[in-house]
Structure 1
């Protein structure tokens, strides 16, 4: 009988896959027998289209060390850190992965886990309610509440984007009682969407900017990524950009009523009126974001709400993903899937979702519809129906 593989998982976007991602995959390969990537589909956490489609990113991930690519469904991929992390952890757990690996500015799991435990405790609600509002955002009040509980050492973690996400992973592991061992690896290079001091390790945000402005990525991404990017650029199938969808999004929002906005996920009371008013005044998405944004509502949250409205992502969806949608695999990935005895249904082809029926099929149709709109985000648009025609990618 073959010994069970030790499997590590990473929750990712690879938007695009860069040298820091390659380093992370290499480090995961050194501590495990196989790598599962729970990867966002065609829309990402920023409330924007991914710069490359999910099939191109799947192939590149497999070419750079990943073994099995599982899609993080749209409602979790295009949501805040807590919901994003919960969905990713649930899928990694459903595949019975052993390790959950993530990059962090402060790679101290015990310190992050202490913060996660405090944020989940009843005492946190009390501490949070004691923080004066004074127009502070939720994030600022949360940091202040955690400071009152654990001091500066813990609360300072909430100032670092990757630490925030790491804490959300640890919260999700606790909430789901997942048998995942968290491993934090030092993040190399630039912070989230910031300029890099190390010229080799550029942030994904910098690389997206270079792609959209005609800059050169040679030496900044793995060679096979660079080759693929050049091919897609020449065919007009890269980069995807919100600018190609802008008027369609504004058109959609102008037809919505306040009650339509009320049906969106993660909407605070009263925000539907602010969105409705802004949608009728704004002449660009940036103007819309500015009209809605306040100290209480972050720019990122507004972007996600606008994208949810455009894609018609409803509230009231299941708390966690319903299925494991496999986008691609290596031979090792096929063995991971065979050995795992997953706790969620596995789906590859459209017929798999239709056979599952009900909420499973509805969630897949929501994804497929969003991907048909995503297909218009390129200089040269794709036709509809790629979720029904693209094959499982094997490398």
Structure 2
């Protein structure tokens, strides 16, 4: 199928939408027939609330050229890279005309990224990993060592966060046998979680810090993002932060048993015992993370576990997202939904037609949105998910 007939997809957070995101979407719009954004909801992979709510970020995506914005459900949006990629790829693959998955990468070499993904899925990788000594190294370090045995110096791309996420995207496409090609684009601007050098595009993390501190971001973000931040600040809905939920989170954790912690996603190696003990000692979230931190566990993983406990995200969940929740669309994007292989939720009434497992997932999302409403400078009422219609452009 010619490229002009294919839609491209991007799995994203836009937390917030910055110049690098805008550049990627512009390149996608020039090359393919349209753009589908698989957007994380009100809580994101860092284990935190998004600084702007999902409806505001949907409007930004549409303003930047998206034709369809689909929500990545909570259990995948707040998961590690592998599950995050698997959920997003499945949603992209459920739409008939999506043939490309685009992403920014420090190494925009589709061949190298695909080679790494294939190697990680191979029996040879499992064998190489099993041969490494158990010396207390992190899994990430051991994984790179094993991959180096198979593909040599190219394994170094796992040290680059966006390229490593691209590998997970490719793994998901291969595992699910989706007819979607990976399309890496050069990542521009400051590195992930790094401050920008003079003249560089700021990273999302640096922008969030500036917005939270009340600093002026004029000229540092696209005009649509600046306008959205100013409007949401005036309404008391930005910046959303875990700081507003600190005591509710700590109280929730203190009410949990070791058995409760063991039911959280991504729990292993007795980490539930560490969580239980730390939650009964900590008097702040930063204190809690400090008690939990070791060389084996990344800060992001610990934040996600704490957030999962607070939001009630269970370990048991569908293997892949069971429906398409539409947040926003253009007329062109609406046409894509006609051939979707998953049930489509455009309005709350559509949920009643879903199977019970999918209805339970939607209810979890609704509860999380109601808690997000308390993570804003001015607490908001419950029920926005039920009130908010699809955003059209």
TM-score > 0.5 by shorter chain:
yes
Shift of 1:357: 3.6
Q: Distance in 2 between matches of 1:332 and 1:188?
A: 29
Cross-structure match for 2:272: 272
Shift of 1:144: 1.0
Q: Distance in 2 between matches of 1:207 and 1:102?
A: 20
Residues 328-361 of structure 1: CA distance to partner in whole angstroms, max 9, x if unpaired? 01122122223xx111111111211122140111
> Would the alpha carbon gap of residues 93 and 230 (structure 1) be closer, same or farther in structure 2, given more than 3 Å must change?
same
Shift of 1:258: 0.1
Cross-structure match for 2:106: 105
Cross-structure match for 1:32: 32
Q: Secondary structure at the match of 1:237?
A: coil
Q: Distance in 2 between matches of 1:41 and 1:50?
A: 8
> Would the alpha carbon gap of residues 6 and 198 (structure 1) be closer, same or farther in structure 2, given more than 3 Å must change?
farther
Q: Distance in 1 between matches of 2:253 and 2:184?
A: 40
Contact 2:190 2:200 in 1 (8 A): no
Cross-structure match for 1:228: 228
Shift of 1:196: 1.4
Q: Secondary structure at the match of 1:128?
A: helix
Q: Which stretch shows the higher mean deviation, 295-304 or 99-108?
A: 295-304
Q: Distance in 1 between matches of 2:387 and 2:94?
A: 26
Contact 2:189 2:200 in 1 (8 A): yes
Q: Distance in 1 between matches of 2:180 and 2:247?
A: 43
Q: Distance in 1 between matches of 2:267 and 2:36?
A: 32
How high is the TM-score relative to the length of structure 2? 0.97
Q: Secondary structure at the match of 1:281?
A: coil
Shift of 1:195: 1.0
Cross-structure match for 1:69: 69
Cross-structure match for 1:362: 360
Correspondence for 2:346 among 345, 348, 351: 348
- Name stretches of at least 5 consecutive residues in structure 2 with no aligned partner: none
Shift of 1:200: 4.7
Q: Secondary structure at the match of 1:98?
A: strand
Cross-structure match for 1:383: 381
Q: Secondary structure at the match of 1:383?
A: coil
Shift of 1:158: 0.8
- Name stretches of at least 5 consecutive residues in structure 1 with no aligned partner: none
Contact 1:133 1:141 in 2 (8 A): no
Residues 84-125 of structure 1: CA distance to partner in whole angstroms, max 9, x if unpaired? 000000000001311110000000010011111110011111
Q: Secondary structure at the match of 2:280?
A: helix
Contact 2:4 2:31 in 1 (8 A): no
1:47-66 maps to which residues of 2 (within 5 A)? 47-66=47-66
Q: Secondary structure at the match of 1:387?
A: helix
1:204 paired to 2:204: yes
Cross-structure match for 1:124: 125
Contact 2:217 2:226 in 1 (8 A): yes
Please tell me the root mean square deviation across aligned C-alpha atoms, in Å. 1.2
Q: Distance in 1 between matches of 2:354 and 2:391?
A: 22
Which aligned segments of 4 or more residues in structure 1 are displaced greater than 3 angstroms? none
Total equivalences in the alignment? 390
1:1-395 maps to which residues of 2 (within 5 A)? 5-96=5-96, 97-152=98-153, 154-197=154-197, 199-338=199-338, 341-395=339-393
Q: Distance in 2 between matches of 1:198 and 1:106?
A: 22
Contact 1:15 1:51 in 2 (8 A): yes
Q: Secondary structure at the match of 1:110?
A: helix
How high is the TM-score relative to the length of structure 1? 0.97
